[in-house]
Chain A
Amino acid sequence: MKIVADYPESLTEKEFHYCPGCTHGLIHRLIAEVMDELEIREDTIGIAPVGCSVLAYEYFNCDMQEASHGRAPAVATGVKRVHPDKVVFTYQGDGDLASIGTAEIVHAANRGENFTTIFVNNAIYGMTGGQMAPTTLKEQKTSTSQSGRNLQESGNPIKMSEMLSVLDGPAYIARVSVHDPKHIIKAKKAIKKAFQMQIEKKGFTMVEVLSTCPTNWGVSPVKALDWLAENMLDVYPLAVYKEVE
């Protein structure tokens, strides 16, 4: 009998704390499967963020460092400069990467630091209870934009993949989504590509993953997947924004 879907060795058996239907857990699993397939679990150091995935170090079955809010790219830089032959990744939410940590991600990308960033964009601050994020959509209601995000007051949804892809440092930048099986398969391919390119020492790689937050969007898990498809894909087009030879 051929096993088609086993429990990934690169995940611990600890139960996720994520809300029902949240796609953080799914994204964790994709990363773990990629680590298994590339056989890099024992050579990987992951950097966990601040945000709902703050406990990611309990879920990935590899060496992990917890970073302060937004600073994972700087921490990853430190780790990678000590161990250039190991695989290093950061896992960051949109508040983490696109707000408090914008400087760190821009400069790590621009230096071409040879690590991989998994950027989970759910258009909201999950952990702190649903405040507006830099990625929050126009007119999207959040606890700090209660009548909908007003672009005059709060600026525009920030497009990190587009921004970072104009830099010379990155080797691979792609935006993917996990709202249906077809896209989940594509997302995994992109994550695998990013890790492979890191192993080949091509430079900075990032995969932006559009993700859901049913709890703070105030919708059911299934509706959240639809909401993502209907509202986020137009603002955040799925594409490979950069790929070097």
Chain B
Amino acid sequence: MEKVLMKGNEAIAEAAVRAGCRHFFGYPITPQNELPEYMSHRMPEVGGVFLQAESEVAAINMVYGAAGAGARVMTSSSSPGISLKLEGISYIAGAELPCVIINVMRAGPGLGGIQPSQADYFQAVKGGGHGDYRMTVLAPSTVQEAVDLTMEAFEIADYYRNPVMILADGYIGQMMEPVVFNKTVNPEDLAAKSWATDGAKGRDVNIINSLFLDPEELEEHNHDLDRKYQEMKKRENRYELYKMEDAEMAIVAYGTTARISTKAVDLAREKGIKLGLIRPISLYPFPEKIIQESTKDIEKYLVVEMSMGQMVEDVKLAVNGQRPVHFHGRTGGMVPTPEEIFSVIEDLWEE
């Protein structure tokens, strides 16, 4: 397979095309603009549809319509745009439609800034939109991983009939790295979606809906959805461990921050500090089991995030009070350096 040098945003777009996505609806926002730009020429090339919507609200509702009509469909945005999409995401989850949503996070709140951030963790993994819903959230830390996870995201979405989010940050979106595209899916080979609204020829009508006026029925529906989320919890746990074999202290970090943290682990190891890294790849479901198991060897944890501290709450839940969990965060678009993280680790080690 040929290696090509690509910007993260464009690599994600190409991965979606390779995954058989033929419909893309989006609205410009930095730092993800290369993604719709790439789709605007690539979609027509493969006989697909690119449409620049009038807003993020419209874009996600176009995704809803296209997903309900049976298509593999994607949208992308960045933080303020994702906030606008949340109503639609809740409807998509409620109506059980598969789609892929890319969030190339920037710093907030409000209009915030355009530099990388991880401050949308809560929004992504705790619902964000209204009602009890969940979606699989995957966080790449390299451009290659962004490609692989995007391709997988379409499979996961179809399997569960649920939205899947790729939670990247401005760094992953803007960075150029060599990537390999391992496979290409022909949308015509995909299994037919018997539930889709494509005209009721020779069958009963299909209805795409999330309305249940009878509370008993809605409760039943929410239990059905929850069974799906429980299955996700069993099957979709993804994480990577770095130098954890003999570690006595661990950093927990995801995405770009995890990548920076591997350097901090190397610096610590040079100084004889037994540090390792746990990198959650699926943020929902959160790989709580591996963290819980690690408490038998790990004495202290440091969670590093580009936020004021969000994932740290899930780590604390997993550790369940058995060990201290510390936090180091940069925010506003500031990115921590390996040296900075190492100095926090040194202090904790000596404490």
Query: Using a CB–CB distance below 8 Å, which chain A residues touch chain B?
Result: 41-45, 47, 54-55, 57, 61-68, 71, 74-83, 86, 103-104, 106-107
Contacts and interface: CB of A to CB of B under 8 A. Distances in A.
Contacts of A104: 54, 57-58, 61
B62 A81 contact: yes
Contact of A78 (B23, B54, B200, B202): B23
B208 A78 contact: no
B206 interface: yes
B66 interface: yes
A65 B208 contact: yes
A53 B215 CA distance: 20
Given A68-B91, A79-B68, A81-B62, 13 more contacts: A44-B199, A54-B211, A62-B205, A63-B197, A63-B199, A65-B95, A71-B88, A74-B62, A74-B65, A78-B62, A78-B68, A79-B69, A81-B23
Interface of B: 23, 25, 49, 51, 53-55, 57-59, 61-71, 73, 87-88, 91, 95, 197-202, 205-211
Given A63-B199, A103-B54, A83 B205 contact: no
A78 B197 contact: no
B64 A78 contact: yes
A75 B200 contact: no
Chain A residues touching B, majority SS: helix
B207 A64 contact: yes
A54 B95 CA distance: 15
Among A71, A76, A82, A107, the one with the most B-chain Cβ atoms within 10 Å of its Cβ is A82
11 contacts: A45-B199, A61-B200, A63-B207, A64-B206, A65-B64, A67-B61, A67-B65, A78-B67, A82-B23, A82-B49, A107-B54
A101 B209 CA distance: 19
A42 B54 CA distance: 31
Nearest to B206: A63
B62 A45 contact: no
Nearest to A85: B199
Contacts of A103: 54-55, 57-58
Contact of A76 (B65, B205, B209, B211): B65
B200 A42 contact: yes
Contacts of A81: 23, 49, 51, 62, 66
A78 B199 contact: no
Across chains A and B, which 9 residue pairs bring their CB atoms closest together, nearest first? A78-B65, A74-B61, A78-B66, A63-B197, A75-B65, A78-B62, A82-B69, A107-B54, A71-B61
Contacts of A67: 61, 64-65
Contact of A42 (B25, B68, B87, B201): B201
A11 to B, nearest CB: 12
A47 B62 CA distance: 12
B338 to A, nearest CB: 44
Contact of A75 (B49, B64, B70, B206): B64
Contacts of A82: 23, 49, 65-66, 69-71, 198
A78 B201 contact: no
A66 B208 contact: yes
A41 B207 contact: no
B65 A61 contact: no
B54 A65 contact: no
A120 B144 CA distance: 51
Contacts of A44: 199
A104 B61 CA distance: 10
Nearest to A48: B209
Given A62-B200, A78-B23, A45 B69 contact: yes
A33 to B, nearest CB: 18
Nearest to A69: B87
A65 B207 contact: yes
Given A54-B211, A71-B57, A78-B25, A65 B65 contact: yes
A107 B198 contact: no
A41 B73 CA distance: 26
A66 B210 contact: yes
Nearest to A81: B49
Given A62-B200, A103-B55, A57 B209 contact: yes
Nearest to B210: A66
Contacts of B199: 42-45, 62-63, 83, 86
Nearest to B202: A42
Nearest to B65: A78
Contacts of A75: 61-62, 64-65, 68
Among A43, A44, A57, A68, the one with the most B-chain Cβ atoms within 10 Å of its Cβ is A68
Nearest to A46: B197
B211 A78 contact: no
